[in-house]
């Protein structure tokens, strides 16, 4: 799948944009700052002069979800969740909650004589991370739902995948009403001149990635009015009480949920569980539980085998296995001869540094609160498998106070919804305009 440069710095628009999608020219190879400036000017004119109705967008997104049900896309991590995210039944409640009931028909939500309505920021820039395949597309949908136009820097690693996903949008968007509001750019992250040109020409930004990347992007010369939503590096963990993991009747299904959470995104997403804490229980053998978890990992590996692995990751996995077994004679491990997956069993309440690559550390603690008490703002998602509702409520409260932003049932750690990382995804890229009529008899 080829990338194409452009003769004119302004990207295709309307029907032209759809033509570009169908001819594999949607992701523009950018060489000069003026390319980004011209594209931004076109997008700014579009967002001011034309309004894309929520109804139209929801219809297109729903058709897009259907178009993504393609065997060619089935091996792309996260496509299943992207399809669920794009569904009208998922997005309508989010829009109502974040932007008010009037958001679905672009009307003012009236309280007394005062109206409130969400308006777009303008052009939103997107800097997605390269380790989550669907992230460029996922990020831009959040800004589009707020009525914005989008300028997206697509990481080199994700150009081909993003192209494939956007081609399906062209199928769903036969009028080009949505695609004309998106400009996708490809350029090396080291091109400071292009990074700065992009930042100067946006009114908001959604920034994803590791600490170094996020810091670099935040230091760019954004306009003083630009609104930034930073979704930086986080890690995630899971907890299970003895009543759950010790129950042989239901343990198999719980292990399957854990395996699915570990496999998604090859454990590189912020929402991937790196450590599983088990509450010690009388008559419960953690080694037996890990044996069942091993079978779930083997089954998941058969269904979703690793297609490739970077040499550095393979080396890190082998090193982690060896160091774990050497660190404590009571430590145990289960893994195949290949670096496909790894289970490490031990005890303690402190999360080890994550290895990723489908490496799950299972730690036994006397009380789950011992583990939760060590959480801080670096922990994003907490997966739960708790049989005692009262205990679960206490754990959720304690985790939320210690910086955890998402607390969900195991098996749903990657289900993308809003809020995410403690922030509304759509409202963050809008302006909530307050309107008080000048005449008493006037109605909003």
pLDDT tens, position by position, 257-283: 999 999 988 898 899 999 999 999 999
Tell me the β-bridge partners of 237: 275, 382
Ordered by start, the domain boundaries in the chain are: 15-232+421-435, 235-409
pLDDT at residue 10 above 60? no
pLDDT tens, position by position, 38-61: 999 999 999 999 888 999 999 999
pLDDT tens, position by position, 119-159: 999 999 999 999 889 999 999 999 999 999 999 999 999 99
Residue 436 structure tokens: 């008080």
Q: Residue 7, class by beta-carbon neighbours within 10 Å (0-12 exposed, 13-18 middle, 19+ buried)?
A: exposed
Starting at the edge strand that comes first in sequence, how are the strands of the sheet with 332-334 ordered?
Answer: 332-334, 342-347, 359-365, 273-279, 235-240, 379-385, 406-409
Q: Residue 47 and residue 202: Cα distance in Å, rounded?
A: 12
Decide whether 15-232+421-435 matches 235-409 in CATH topology: no
- 15-232+421-435 belongs to which CATH class? alpha beta
Average predicted confidence (pLDDT) for the chain:
91
pTM: 0.87
Instruction: Tell me the CATH number of domain 235-409, given options 3.40.309.10, 3.40.50.2000, 3.40.1350.10, 2.30.40.10.
Output: 3.40.309.10
Average pLDDT of span 163-186: 95
Average pLDDT of span 284-309: 95
| CA–CA–CA angle 277, 356, 314 (5° rounding) | 135
Strand blocks (E) in 247-302:
273-279
What region, left, alpha or beta, does residue 167 occupy, with left being phi > 0 and alpha being psi -120 to 50 degrees?
Answer: alpha
């Amino acid at each position: 799948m080829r990338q194409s440069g452009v003769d004119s710095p302004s990207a295709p628009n309307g029907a032209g944009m759809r033509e570009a999608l169908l001819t594999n020219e949607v992701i523009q190879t950018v060489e000069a700052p003026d390319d980004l400036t011209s594209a931004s000017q076109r997008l700014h004119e579009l967002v001011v002069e034309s309004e894309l109705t929520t109804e139209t967008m929801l219809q297109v997104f729903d058709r897009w979800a259907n178009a993504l049900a393609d065997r060619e896309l089935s091996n792309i991590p996260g496509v299943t969740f992207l399809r669920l995210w794009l569904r009208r039944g998922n997005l309508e409640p989010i829009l109502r909650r974040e932007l008010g009931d009037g958001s679905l028909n672009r009307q003012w939500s009236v309280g007394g004589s005062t109206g409130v309505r969400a308006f777009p920021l303008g052009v939103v820039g997107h800097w997605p991370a390269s380790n989550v395949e669907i992230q460029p597309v996922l990020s831009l949908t959040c800004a589009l739902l707020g009525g914005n136009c989008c300028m997206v820097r697509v990481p080199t690693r994700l150009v081909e995948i993003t192209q494939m996903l956007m081609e399906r949008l062209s199928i769903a968007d036969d009028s080009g009403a949505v695609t004309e509001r998106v400009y996708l750019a490809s350029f090396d992250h080291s091109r400071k001149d292009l990074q700065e040109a992009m930042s100067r020409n946006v009114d908001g930004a959604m920034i994803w990635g590791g600490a170094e990347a996020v810091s670099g992007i935040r230091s760019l010369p954004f306009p003083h009015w630009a609104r930034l939503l930073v979704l930086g590096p986080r890690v995630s963990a899971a907890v299970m009480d003895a009543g759950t993991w010790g129950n042989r009747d239901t343990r198999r299904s719980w292990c399957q949920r854990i395996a699915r959470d570990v496999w998604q995104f090859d454990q590189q997403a912020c929402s991937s569980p790196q450590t599983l804490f088990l509450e010690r229980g009388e008559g419960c053998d953690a080694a037996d539980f890990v044996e069942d978890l091993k079978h779930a990992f083997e089954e998941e590996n058969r269904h979703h085998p690793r297609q490739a692995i970077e040499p550095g990751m393979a080396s890190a996995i082998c090193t982690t296995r060896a160091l774990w077994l050497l660190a404590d004679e009571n430590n145990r491990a289960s893994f195949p001869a290949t670096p496909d997956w790894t289970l490490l069993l031990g005890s303690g309440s402190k999360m080890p540094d994550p290895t990723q690559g489908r490496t799950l550390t299972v730690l036994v603690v006397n009380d789950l609160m011992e583990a939760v008490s060590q959480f801080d703002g670096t922990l994003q998602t907490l997966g739960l498998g708790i049989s005692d509702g009262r205990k679960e409520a206490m754990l959720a409260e304690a985790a939320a106070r210690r910086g955890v932003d998402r607390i969900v049932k195991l098996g749903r750690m990657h289900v993308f919804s809003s809020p995410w990382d403690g922030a509304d995804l759509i409202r963050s890229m809008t302006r909530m305009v307050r309107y008080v009529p000048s005449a008493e008899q006037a109605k909003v």
